[in-house]
Structure 1
């Protein structure tokens, strides 16, 4: 009870109006208000707000590890908070989507009647019927129009294998149930509901401080929830956001390594001419692509295609250089860092903060990259965390662009230079207390891609992170998606939240709030928290603010000038959660292309539309308003080169 006529109910990510007088004979009136992203444990009215107790950030991500997600990106400590909401806002979060089946691949007896299913409260409702009987089966829908327990026949459908029907406004009632008059094998009666999405393409003004796709953000940090603070690394500088929402640079930078180890790895998500391609648990899925995002996360080349640093050391410009150091531990001489070897017995080890190793190349040399191999036993736990890569200019040492390394957690670190640098003396200045351990310092005239170098660990934009307990936020090509944990059917049940077309670099939940990086303006905006030195900032809000971004939209498909085999289905392409939909089809040969839909995300595929195509003649089809499914795929009747591309508006 929240002080309104109806009670408030929460279930499966939907706020519901629930009649206070609900009973067996007065069961009408349950209706969705909106969808939400938080995980809500309890709630109550307090003054002029509804206060929700939420499960926000979990340290242990139960069965929720993914190949395109950092294995160390979870909060260092679980944390949650209260969420204070204006009651009117409960109707203005995400457009409500609801799905469910009264029978799903069930074996039915003749005369069997299903349990009731909610039949009202949504703008669009779609019914899918299917079975495995060799002969057509008649399914009869019955409705309880007033919610008083009085059932009447609505209509019957004679179904040969499968049927999809968009329910009309005349076909309404409080509850619906299904009946069959014969025994049925693998019977499904599925309902797919959704409300109109009133959003347009524009983001709400509260996101104005974030850079748009194609713009260069002024602040592009990597963040992680770190006990009582939010830790941030931005352009080699370490910051902490405290519980008073003050962002400053502490000394020492103790949390930098935690941020680095939780950074986004190479995602393995691919892009072809048709769409984005994601693989999870051996299954392939396709998502809309966005031409505004040219830097698509791509898989690392196979290890056999990329050399290791060790194989390239013979051509290092620093091999054999004269080496000096601030100190030497036991027999680990400075010269070992330029001998072309990566052996534990052939390292330089110094001690104390501001330890340094300097190399004299004998003459000025021009190079485009510097690689520093550091640690012991090739384990990152012994790697140098904070160090500067420098060259000598006159009598002074100058740090190279990108050479200020902070919070490192890799054994091989590369510094790629935008412009060639010419110098005779190079130095590595280690800021860590304790031992400084360097296997090798290597210089190259080019910028080799190494399979053992973590050269861009902080450069990858975040693709996936858990932001509410057992719910990931997936961000790709300018669209946020809600992604259930793998123990909740995982990628098969993904759905879009909003399309933002922003240059968001990282995001994390911390103390019940959502923080974003990738700001074009670090000083202005009610949601902007700027650092004390003015050099960086984060955007702050809650995850359900994301509904105020643009309506989900995109382009892509299953084939785009693709060679296809007769009778072989394409990969599935996401359809759920998008509004207006159309498809363009083209074939190089005469064929029939059938679109099949997975109505509930469990690979229950049913045909929905067949197109007869003449060679070279394109067809465009706009789906009826309200039509939707979880996934869609295509099957051609002939070998051909085909295009099946969807537009979601």
Structure 2
């Protein structure tokens, strides 16, 4: 290690010492005042994560900071052999303690002393001056850094684009609040051109091509139109959130009032002069992902499914920043709504073939790039906005290969072409991705009382040539499902209405490929199985505020009883357990019940324990999830999980994203506002397991799990103290998929007294593979299966009816490819009935 300071720090004050009695080398060099870390090195790598590269809202040696609710890594750019990156605060247009970081090929990291912080995520390479522009910084080929004073150009800079009239000397800077600046890349002189020229809010993307500056806002927050440079009329209304707009140097034009993020071309951050290549931008609405392409000044739109719903809220806070970028070897990748897609650099209206799903993910990824033969993912890992279980925000990088993604989440997605939309005869929809998914199912609903007809058309080669595939004719208010045969090929499908009406065409795309838990069993060696008679090292975990360590309230468990207790800090620099906890807020981790505020909470606060409650319980039928909108039901795992009520059930593990670990299955829980109850109805299962996982936490870019066998061997993932009274397992967040595909059993009824015509509690169906339903009743009765097929449709559709004979069991195996979000059941007579789903 270069320039490593031999030293230690005391637990009481964590003051850096010049000399100490120990021989442990601390892998960082402080600044001249021995207050801030100036450089840091390390070699430890766990599941693609180097813990020493963790970024915080500060760089102080003692870890304590004054303010900063978030710490995402907003932009990463390879430049002259090094990797430059900036992290960002939640809302600091006038600067903050966040930093500019420089990482060399040996993963040594320097922290730029002149960092101004703020909320930056913008990056561009300026061709004429040969400079990297990242945030407020301009970096030449020798690594010299100049900074536009943030007081001179205040703003949460999110995009940098080539100038329309003086591209040799100037660039545009676009900010989240909508401010548009121009700046001279030589003199650093800046000028604000517009304060807030466009509808929408939360500026995200900006790029210059085909003689236009294209700007994107991804949210809506009741903006004041007084500064708009477009007509106010027609800009308000249902679904009018965010904006995609053009600027020709004189006039702004709204292209579409939807939420959009990245704007780019095949040249990406290497913005070239006189760019004429197709320009792409990604956005979404309640139906689907929206991918738009501009060619010769004209726009075309394509739709894709969503793997997850974390990005959906209209405020746009939870989409920082989905990108389309090159990942090496002339390959490009698109990341949107929790899914990686292969993205062809040739994508255009007449050559649209080649978009393919790769895998879904849990990681919150503001940027990614290719560097030194690896893909590098930036992350927004842990915030303290509404999150009382973390003391300070922190984020890190992930290094790996594209093939690694194949062992992450399944290529499964959901969306709609029409969603209770009014259509007229001969209306043609926008194209929706058809290729790349193993199983494709459509849910079709005629919301009109009159008959409805439309034809499905296929673009087989992605050359914008369409052929009719199948005509659907539905009676008034009829529902129908349709599973596309595997042998039906094509790049895109679209719908052409043959009659007027109101219709939904909802698509569920699922996969045959789930990660094998058996394949990766060795990765989780050391974790204790639920129900074991062996001793287990459990712990409640808290990422400290006063230092970089993690507090661990440890217990040794045997047969469900605590036989020993201890308090430790797991140390950042030495990766070992030190006795004692110094973090005043760490005891928050001891409470495992949940409480949600009615209003968004941006500052983490201690809640009244009297208001906290158990999130789930179990009856004979299934797991019951208790939400403010009523009970939901989830599958059961091993019966031994019934008694694990003191284990952590919900925790934020990525910024503004929560995970639940309930009865042997991890679930992703999208949020609508930080601090408020998650959108439980939009949850998706991640993986199922048979481990005694007492707590889980994101720390130093790693996923920490407690619940280690006391007799486990230490390894690169398992760390146990000498006394074997404290232990933890470490990996990365997307290692959770490797536990194995979601499975389970249960249902809404188990010998339950059922009232005629009353719907059961909803039972989760999203994300499960092989599905079987078993029904039984004490009298002859007709049971109806109702489905929720879209999170944005309140109506449940009537799927199937089952005529049961008294006392006789009926089994129904769902067809391969059948998918819905939630299932409910009803009976046409009062009865005592059982309805159980088996997910294999």
Q: Same fold (TM over 0.5)?
A: yes
Tell me the residue number matched to 1:248. Answer: 577
CA-CA distance at 1:248 after TM superposition: 2.4
Instruction: State the partner residue of 2:669.
Output: 483
Structure 1 residue aligned with 2:539: 221
- 1:78 is matched with 393
Q: 2:317 is matched with which residue?
A: none
**Is the CA contact 1:229–1:240 (under 8 Å) kept in the aligned structure 2?**
yes
Q: 2:586 aligns with which of 246, 258, 272?
A: 258
Q: 1:575 to 1:89 in 2, by over 3 A?
A: same
For residues 109 and 155 of structure 1, what CA distance do their matches in structure 2 show? 19
Q: Indicate the structure (1 or 2) with the bigger Cα radius of gyration.
A: 1
How far did 1:116 drift? 1.1
Q: State the match for 1:267 in structure 2.
A: 614
The equivalent residue for 1:158 is 473
- The answer to whether the 8 Å contact 1:245/1:529 transfers is no
- Of 345, 348, 363, the residue aligned with 1:20 is 345
Q: Distance in 2 between matches of 1:572 and 1:111?
A: 37
1:3 aligns with 2:319: no
1:280 aligns with 2:627: yes
The aligned residue for residue 704 of structure 2 is 515
Following superposition, the deviation at residue 506 of structure 1 comes to: 0.5
Q: Is the 8 A contact 1:237 1:249 kept in 2?
A: no
Structure 1 residue aligned with 2:488: 171
Displaced runs of 4 or more, over 4 A: none
The gaps in structure 2 that reach 5 residues or longer are 1-325, 556-564, 594-612
**Paired residue for 1:302?**
none
For 1:245 and 1:585, the matched residues in 2 are separated by 56
Q: Which has the higher contact order (CA 8 A, sep 6+)?
A: 1
Q: Structure 1 stretch 15-24 or stretch 257-266: which is displaced more?
A: 257-266
The answer for the alignment partner of 2:554 in structure 1 is 234
Match of 1:558 in 2: 748
> 1:2-151 to 2 correspondence within 5 Å?
2-61=327-386, 72-73=388-389, 75-151=390-466
Distance in 2, matches of 1:80 and 1:26, equals 38
Query: For residues 134 and 197 of structure 1, what CA distance do their matches in structure 2 show?
Result: 40
Measured after TM superposition, the shift of residue 283 of structure 1 is 2.6
1:176 Cα deviation from its structure 2 partner: 0.8
> Equivalents in 2 of 1:245, 1:120: separation in Å?
48
- Per the TM alignment, residue 491 of structure 1 is displaced from its structure 2 partner at its CA by 0.6
2:693 alignment partner in structure 1: 504
8 Å Cα contact 1:270/1:297 also seen in 2: no
Contact 2:407 2:738 in 1 (8 A): no
Q: Is the 8 A contact 2:635 2:764 kept in 1?
A: yes
1:212-611 map, 5 Å: 212-215=529-532, 216-227=534-545, 228-235=548-555, 236-251=565-580, 253-255=581-583, 258-261=586-589, 263-265=591-593, 267-296=614-643, 460-487=646-673, 490-520=679-709, 521-531=711-721, 533-602=723-792, 603-611=794-802
Q: Residue 219 of structure 1: SS of its match in structure 2?
A: strand
Alignment counterpart, residue 639 of structure 1, candidates 830, 833, 839 = 830
Displacement of 1:273 in angstroms is: 1.4
Q: Secondary structure at the match of 2:639?
A: coil
Is the 8 Å Cα contact of residues 217 and 518 (structure 1) preserved in structure 2?
Answer: no
Deviation at 1:555, TM superposition (A): 0.4
Residue 503 and residue 166 in structure 1: after superposition, are their counterparts in 2 closer, same or farther (change >3 A)? Answer: same
Cα-Cα RMSD: 1.9
1:423-465 CA distance string (max 9 Å, x none): xxxxxxxxxxxxxxxxxxxxxxxxxxxxxxxxxxxxx101000
- In structure 1, stretches of 5+ residues that fail to align are 62-70, 299-459
Output the CA distance in 2 between the equivalents of 1:243 and 1:526: 15
What's the offset of the Cα at 1:583? 0.5
Secondary structure (helix, strand or coil) at the match of 2:536 reads coil
Shift of residue 23, structure 1, vs aligned partner: 1.0
Give me the TM-score of the superposition, normalised by structure 1: 0.71
Could you give the per-residue CA deviations for residues 151-208 of structure 1, whole angstroms, max 9, x where no partner exists? 12111111231110011123331111112222213x1111100121344453521111
Q: 1:47 to 1:200 in 2, by over 3 A?
A: closer
Q: Between Structure 1 and Structure 2, how many residues are aligned?
A: 476
* Partners of 1:645 and 1:147 in 2: CA distance: 43
Contact 1:271 1:296 in 2 (8 A): no
